Structure 1
Amino acid sequence: MKDKNTPCCESEWWVNLVISFALVAFASITSGLSLGLLSHSKVDLEVLIKSGVPREQKNAAKVLPIVKNEILLLCTLFIAKSLTMEALPIFMDRILPFWSAILVSMTFVVAFVEVIPQAICSRYGLLSYPVRKVLDWLLGKNHSAILRRAELKTYVDLHGIKAGKGGDLTDDETTIIAGAMNMTQKTAKDAMTPMSRTFSLDINSKLELQTMGMVASKGHSRVPIYSDDPANIIGLILVKSLIFYHPEDETPIRDMTIRRILRVYDNWPLYDVLKLFQKDSEPTETDGIGINPPLGEKELLNNSSVYHGDGEIQSDSLYDGMKESDLSLFLNKWEQDCGQISNEELESLKGKYIR
């Protein structure tokens, strides 16, 4: 078969050569765009828009309208790529012999349409070892798909039910995940309540009806106790322990069980503070974030204080003249913390405390 080639260096030969290179370049662009655009989902782009660096936010905002209709984009790029690849051998055949046109067009398609564009657009070339080393040298090492902290938080938010993207994470779940991630960037100061907003009681005050009403209205499980100056916090009392006190007795707060509190610097990382609380509360019973230190770390307030198995110090004077209903509540708590109470112990308590 005789080749019908255009003589070299004539105007028609140059036109066919330019068209061939243009087809290769256009096919390379469509191949790179098909991988570069379709490798990012709409969720990925929304994450970059909300949490990426300014340059990424700007670029993602431009790309998102294009990739919203993925099927149309995919068909457009594939049809354009197919047309250019089919047309390339026709024009190559006019400037080269038949057999060389096939080899050259195939080489151009593999190298400049498939391998190089996809390696450039994705920074990840699925190539044999020698070619991969060359691309790594030219383009840099492969980039992993690890998200930054802000991007990961946004990614979690977009998987929530509230985002309306089809995710099934509840608001509580997304809030907990985001809170756990935020803790690494927060210090103890971020979790502290300013002294001006803290409800506390003076150790010299009495547990009268008005005071107990204020404590109940605040809704706190613990109330700080100060001495003279509100900034001089010396400990705290458990609100649940007030069930054993009667307002008419006007029990001095200094006669109550005052528990020691941990002291930390406001610049400590919040996770370190949490670990400190967990470590300090291991030997004893805990309630929420507060701790029950062992006896050696307590403030002993009077000589009649006694230590119970729940890690608290109780004073005999707290239960003088206790009513039988109140004693029942106390005994139920004691049974939970210390085990069964013998009949002898029960009769002894009744004789000592019941009016």
Structure 2
Amino acid sequence: MSSTHCDDIELLTIACDPEGFFVCVLTIIGLIAVAGMMAGLTMGLLSLDQLNLQILQTSGADDEKVQAERLLPIVKKHHLLLVSLLLFNAAANEALPVFLSRVVTEAQAVMISVTCVLFFGEIIPSAIFTGKQQLAIAAALVPFVKLLMLLAFPIAFPIAKLLDRWLGEDHDFSRYKRKELKALVALHHKQSQKKWLRQSTRDLGTTALTPLLEDKPSSYGSARRPPPPRLTLRSFSSSEDQDDKMPLETTPTDAAAAPVVVPMYSPPPRPEYAAATPLYSMTGNYLHNDEVAIIHGAMDMSTKTVQMIMTPFDKVFMLDVEEKLCDTVMVRILASGYSRIPVYKGHRTNVVGLLLVKRLIVLNPAEEKPLKDLILRRPIVISPEHSCYSILNLFQEGRSHFALVTPQKEVVAACWRGNADIDPSKVQILGIVTIEDVLEELIMEEIVDESDSPHAADTYMDTVRLRGLQRATTKLKGLLTKVRQLPEFLSAESGCGDLVTVACDPHGFYMALAVSVGLVVVAGIMAGLTMGLLSLDQLNLEILQTTGSATEQTYARRLLPVVRQHHLLLVTLLFFNSIANEALPVFLARIVPEAYAVVISVSCVLFFGEIIPAAIFTGKAQLPIAAALVPVVRVLTFVAFPLAWPVAKALDCVLGDDHDVSRYFDNVTV
């Protein structure tokens, strides 16, 4: 082709300038790759949960520990990371139309830039960087991210500090409260309970397994008819020795050898879910039933006082110190089923000690030895306001596994030190507590009380509140085009024929201005919805649906169906966001010179279409805002369905549609 003909062509071609053409094409491909990398990093890094990273750092696999250690330092610098990635993303997106316009016409440049940025710079990178390999990909790119943060530091640092001051720099992970942690354990158990259709460790019979396999209700224990009653010593507590509970045969007590009818002690019913505990030691990543019960019981115990679990004093079996250990008394003692029995003198309040029933094995009932001649142990005395864990710690000291509950514990202790009688007018014994009572609270099913319920207003802030400005998703799109040299924009004539002004066309000017403002608002809402909805954790939503306040449960029920359609939601919101961002410079260019239109559109999209929506939609009011806009999201999904659904299905096929709640393994649940 002649040089004269090449001079008439404004675009780069292979024939006229092959070197320049291929350099420009390679630059375009590089810019698309950079834009996609920045979009993916923004979504992948800012959606990482610091709590999950710390859990992995402590108890994950070896490679997960290394990855979490790499990621935590940069994820904690939330605003600096956000601004750095957005700056490079904006630079790549803005430079793309400039280089495209050198090899294709402006209209073609617009179409190519919009398509490439939408698919290869937004949807696909966001899906990849938040997929199953999110942690590994993010950790591998940590050195690259640190380099970007260093290069952008002079510009990004002041903006990040401004955001810290305005929006707060508290983007630390939220801790689950006791109530939410219990719900978390229950959700894990719900997923794995069908795997544990085996008999409880306490039920060695095979018959009891049948109702479980048939999905029929069964009570705790063997399904066969129980064996004939035999006398069992039931400790008020777990004793210091292993022989506190021992079966005894019924024996004759008089000359006629009449059998003594001794009532058998029946243990309290086990929780319903304890029947499916595996018989032998099990390994795996799921929680089985007894683990769930013990975790719930352990978390409940710190909220319970001794008074809440004690046995009322008027129901306690006691003996008078003056009684003689004859056949009748011995039978009463054995029939009570207790291994520790409080002994009183004169009246029940005047407790002088405890009788350890196992010591009776060396006594001959025919001797009728008085109780006062035996060595009696002093019980622990504790106030009713003490927590269950405090009394458990006292029991662990080994002094005694039996405690009297009284508000006047100092008076009782003083009477014992001085060998004086306890005056019932000065001391009120409310009940007794044993180590067995505490352990039963530890392994029983959840008991909810008023002290275990946090204030409803704080529930969302501590559970689903996803650390302020923490998930930025969509990045600046290729802002369209008609991008020329800045000096050409600044020197352009701007008469009535070129721009719509108030003087020339006030109606057209205000219409274009209103549309521009509307597009900024739409772009901000789309960006905010993308960050707000896609950053919602389904596991936290399920927890709120179970244990939240009535309002929070309504929000969670409304949001869960939308959030579960991950790829369809992502493609829909990015589609409308891209349209708003690409249309904004077109309308701005009608009322201001193109150079100003580019600067204004970049500034508006960066701050009002990205940063501020991220702060609002992922802030403290994230849940109510997202729930309120669910109808809008459904309408958007319906409108974009013909285009969004095929793309979403393609992403499901390529990347997988498993965006369900993440379940912790048993070594990282608590």
Is this a same-fold pair by TM over 0.5? Answer: no
Higher relative contact order (CA 8 A, sep 6+): 2
TM range (shorter): 0.3 to 0.5
